[in-house]
Amino acid sequence: MKPTPTMLFRYSALTFNGHRIHYDKEFCTGTEGYPGLVVHGPMQATMLCQMAADIRGKPPTKFYFRSLSPLFDNMDMTINAREEGEVLSLWTSCTGGPVAMEAKAEW
């Protein structure tokens, strides 16, 4: 998937996150020095938790996540999952890596 400025702005509004690195490209690249808008960590976790619920047909009872590296709006990102017994391992990454966020879901 490709994170868009509109998607990032809407997630910022939904979560009352006023940090400009998620929706003000000029500020983000010019003042903060990032290569693009920063994709919210909590948005990635939300997507991973939803994917886990979609795969198993119900929300997980436990969900753990950890951010490892940033994602930016000028990158294509992947949302991934792998069954590991009773646990579902999930992660986001930009195409070709590295892993941006890792998560585990349990039922």
| Digitized pLDDT (tens) for each residue of the chain, 107 residues in all | 889 999 999 999 999 999 999 999 999 999 999 999 999 999 999 999 999 999 999 999 999 999 999 999 998 999 999 999 889 999 999 988 899 999 999 99
Please report the domains of the chain, with CATH numbers, ordered by start residue. Answer: 5-106 (3.10.129.10)
Three-class secondary structure of residue 6 per DSSP: helix
- A 10 A CB-CB count for 17 gives 16
Write down the pLDDT at residue 96. 86
List, in sequence order, every beta strand (DSSP E) within 9-76.
Answer: 62-67
